Amino acid sequence: MSRAKSSLIKSAPSRKLEAIADDANGRRQEILLVAADLFARRGYDGVGVRQIADAAGILGGSLYHHFDSKRDLYVEVHGAALAGAASLIEKEIAALSDPWERLEAACRVHLSVQVDPESVTLPMMSDLSAMSSDMRVDLVKDRDRFEAIYKPLIAALPMHAGIDRGIYRLCLLSLINAVPTWYRSGGMDVDQIAKQIMLIFRASSGVAPTATRAKPDRAATRAAKKRVK
3-state secondary structure the chain: CCHHHHHHHHHCCCCCCCCCCCCCCHHHHHHHHHHHHHHHHHCCCCCCHHHHHHHHCCCHHHHHHCCCCHHHHHHHHHHHHHHHHHHHHHHHHCCCCCHHHHHHHHHHHHHHHHHCCCCCHHHHHCCHHHHCCCCHHHHHHHHHHHHCCHHHHHHCCCCCCCCCHHHHHHHHHHHHHHHHHCCCCCCCCHHHHHHHHHHHHHHHCCCCCCCCCCCCCHHHHHHHHHHHC
* Distance, CA of 101 to CA of 191 (rounded, Å): 12
Residue 119 has pLDDT above 50, yes or no: yes
Assess whether pLDDT exceeds 70 at residue 212: no
Better-scored residue on pLDDT, 26 or 6: 26
Report the C-alpha gap between 139 and 135 in whole angstroms. Answer: 6
pLDDT value for 224: 53
Write down the pLDDT at residue 38.
Answer: 93
What is the predicted pLDDT for the residue at 25? 65
* Closest CA relative to residue 53, chosen from 40, 43, 38, 71: 38
Q: What pTM does this model have? A: 0.75
What pLDDT is attached to residue 220? 54
| Structural domains of the chain, with CATH | 3-71 (1.10.10.60), 82-204 (1.10.357.10)
Q: How far apart (Å, rounded) are the C-alpha atoms in residues 58 and 4?
A: 7
Share of the chain above pLDDT 70, in %: 79
Q: What is the pLDDT of residues 60-96, one digit of tens each?
A: 788 888 899 999 999 999 999 999 999 999 999 999 9
The region, left, alpha or beta by phi > 0 then psi within -120 to 50, assigned to residue 216 is: beta
Note the pLDDT of residue 8. 30
Q: Is the pLDDT of residue 195 over 80?
A: yes
**Per-residue pLDDT band at 117 (split at 50, 70, 90):** confident
Q: 171 falls in which pLDDT band (50, 70, 90)?
A: very high
- pLDDT value of position 149: 97
Contact 119, 18 (CB under 8 A): no
pLDDT of 53 higher than 80 = yes
